[in-house]
Amino acid sequence: MSKLAPEAAAQAVSKLSLMAFFPSDSDARSALVWALMQLAETQEQLEWLVERALKLYSRWPGAAARHYHDSRPRIRARDPRSSGAQAAPGRQEEDAMSADCYLECSHCGCQFLASKRQQKRVRSAGIHRVYCSQVCRDTGAGLRLRKPLPYQGTCPGCGRQFGSRTAKKFCSMKCYTGSAEFKQMLVTNRWKATAARVLQVTGEPPKPKVEITCMNCGAKWIERPSRKSRFCSRRCYRQYMAGRFDRWIANPQSIALPQSFDEFLSQEELPCLVEGCDWRGLHLGNHVNFAHGIPVREFKRAVGFNLKTGLVTPAVSDILSERPHIQAGGPVWFQKGHSLPAAVKSYRSLEGREHGAKTRAMLMGTVEMPEQLCRECGRQYRPEPLGYSSKFCSVTCRNIWYRRRERAREVPLNCAECGQSFLSNRAQQRREAKALPVFCTVFCRQKRNARHARLALAALRGGARGEAAMRLTKEERLEECLPPEVA
């Protein structure tokens, strides 16, 4: 029968809770109180047991406490303060090291199960360097005995001091890929690859880049001459067009028939186009979506905007354009190469028509084409800038010229149904060259096809007429144009 009081065992459990991962459940702690009362008989044995456990374990070992299942005689032999015989110091140390002991690796920092030799070196000799494996031991020794790095410098990317065996400028790959030197290297390599490709295809070196000035704000930038850009941003384009066209045009801003799209999107605050709504703000797309419950794409189609036009003010557009362009992986159906049917097809926005009309007006007002001769009537005419490859002065002359050329190519052929002669077009002439039947009218073609269909059906069903159809020779079947199933 144990002489310990439950209060003393509970106090010992509280001291053991200093270990990491000690159980906090009340039932588990009650079981520990009962286990301690079974292990120790006196208060001195209980104190020695708690002190020894805290020295051996930095975290709660759990099942490792099985070493003390027969602890009463062992505690009396181990406890130097007990009234029994004293155990030898070497035996005490060996028994203490027989328990599971975890030490921290001096190189990788992991917790590993230490051997008896490692425990003895740590406890007696005071050695603090222990390793979990031979690899960590060799690596740690190499780091301690390695010579100092000869090159020292400051990384221009992060500003930290670093060392290197050879002269380097950046401390890591992350700092180098985020630097301006790396981006300039990519641009140079891209230009070299493009120049080599152009030289391979055309046989000529690529044209050098030229300096372009924005027609609205006067900003200058370098660009390839093939781009033919005249504005530095979409905002400048809208302001330029709005200042030359939209200020002279009436703009009834209703959801039914809006006008002057460039002037509308150049305002500092955008008004709501839904009738009866007095809202004004920076992001019209969010407003119509959250306030009126109208999807942005449907609203753009109803108003007449391009589907890729952002319904935001110029200030918000500048902020959004400065964000880095990130290509997401997309939905699963897009990544697997599947395609969904388009909800809307053949949509031509009013904004696109307005931009086309403005471009044509500016082009026709600035470019003057040389006079040409009409192929049909021979009259002098001046083509429009967008129709510089035209060869006729009007649509009427073009239709007359093409009709006369088609008539010159017509050849007389015989109809395969009624036998009458008719003037054929190019498609009928190609059929005649392949030994296929040609017809003068659609009625003759349908009449012959219906008769052949009846013969084929009779041959498939059998009977006297079917037997007669089956007795036809190959030449007769080709002449009658029967389907291959009847053969």
Predicted pLDDT at 282: 92
pLDDT above 60: residue 78: no
- DSSP assignment of 110-165 equals -EEE--HHHHHIIIII------SSHHHHHHHHHHHHPPPPSEEEE-TTT--EEEES
Mean pLDDT along residues 388-397: 85
Contact 5, 43 (CB under 8 A): no
3-state secondary structure of 64: helix
Q: What is the mean pLDDT of residues 219-231?
A: 78
pLDDT, greater one: 332 or 453: 453
pLDDT classification of 80: cutoffs 50, 70, 90: very low
Q: Are 360 and 387 in contact (CB under 8 A)?
A: no
Contact 41, 3 (CB under 8 A): yes
pLDDT of residue 246: 57
The C-alpha atoms of residue 118 and residue 125 are separated, in whole angstroms, by 10
With DSSP H G I counted as helix, E B as strand and the rest as coil, what are the percentages for the chain, rounded to 5?
50, 10, 40
Given a cut of 90, is residue 105 above it in pLDDT? no
Residue 345 has pLDDT above 90, yes or no: no
In DSSP terms, which residues pair with 153 in a beta bridge? Answer: 162
| pLDDT at res. 333 | 44
pLDDT: is 478 or 487 the higher one?
478
Contacts 24+ apart (CB under 8 A), 20-29: 20/58, 20/59, 20/60, 21/59, 21/60, 22/60, 23/60
In one letter, which amino acid is 283?
H
**Strand locations in 344-420 (E):** 372-373, 380-381, 411-414
Q: To the nearest whole percent, how much of the chain has pLDDT over 70?
A: 75
Token readout for 228 is: 């033919």
Query: How does residue 176 score in pLDDT terms, banded at 50, 70 and 90?
Result: confident
- 3-state secondary structure at position 318: helix
Closest-CA residue to 195 (of 221, 227, 187, 181): 187
Cβ neighbours around 445 below 10 Å, total: 16
456 residue type, one letter: A
Ranking 6-15, 240-249, 275-284 by mean pLDDT, the lowest is 240-249
Count of other CB atoms within 10 angstroms of residue 249 = 10
pLDDT of residue 325: 61
Tokens representing residue 179 in the block:
């630097």
Q: What average pLDDT does this structure show over 290-315?
A: 86
Structure tokens at 434: 């392949």
232: nearest Cα among 245, 242, 247, 222:
222
pLDDT digits (tens, 9 = 90+) for 24-40: 878 888 888 888 888 88
Q: How far is CA 191 from CA 176, 181, 199, 200, 419, in A?
A: 21, 15, 12, 14, 69
| Both tokens assigned to 135 | 């690899």
Work out whether the CA dihedral 49, 54, 57, 63 comes out positive or negative. positive
pLDDT at 186 over 80: yes
- Predicted local distance difference test score (pLDDT) of residue 258: 55
pLDDT at residue 58 tops 70: yes
Residue 378's Cβ-count burial label (10 Å; 0-12, 13-18, 19+) is exposed
Q: How confident is the model at residue 281 (pLDDT cuts 50, 70, 90)?
A: very high
- Model confidence pLDDT, tens digit, residues 435-482: 899 999 999 989 888 888 887 777 777 655 555 655 554 445 545 544
Least confident segment among 225-229, 309-313, 381-385, 483-487: 483-487
For the segment 239-251, the average pLDDT, to the nearest whole number, is: 64
Mean pLDDT value of segment 194-206: 74
Residue 482 confidence (pLDDT): 43
- Take residue 183 and report the two structure tokens written for it: 């981006």
- Token pair, residue 77, equals 């032999």
Phi, psi for 381 (deg, rounded to 5): -145, 160
Residue 86 has pLDDT above 50, yes or no: no
> Is 395 in contact with 387 (CB distance < 8 Å)?
no
Highest mean pLDDT among 93-97, 321-325, 427-431: 427-431
User: Residue 210's beta-bridge partner residues?
Assistant: 223
Instruction: Give Cα separations from 196 to 192, 204, 225, 459 (angstroms).
Output: 6, 10, 18, 67
∠ Cα 463 466 468 (to 5°): 110
Of 72-86, 184-198, 234-248, 317-331, which range is least confident? Answer: 72-86
pTM of the prediction? 0.35
Beta-ladder partners of 163: 152
Nearest by Cα to 256 from 299, 308, 293: 299
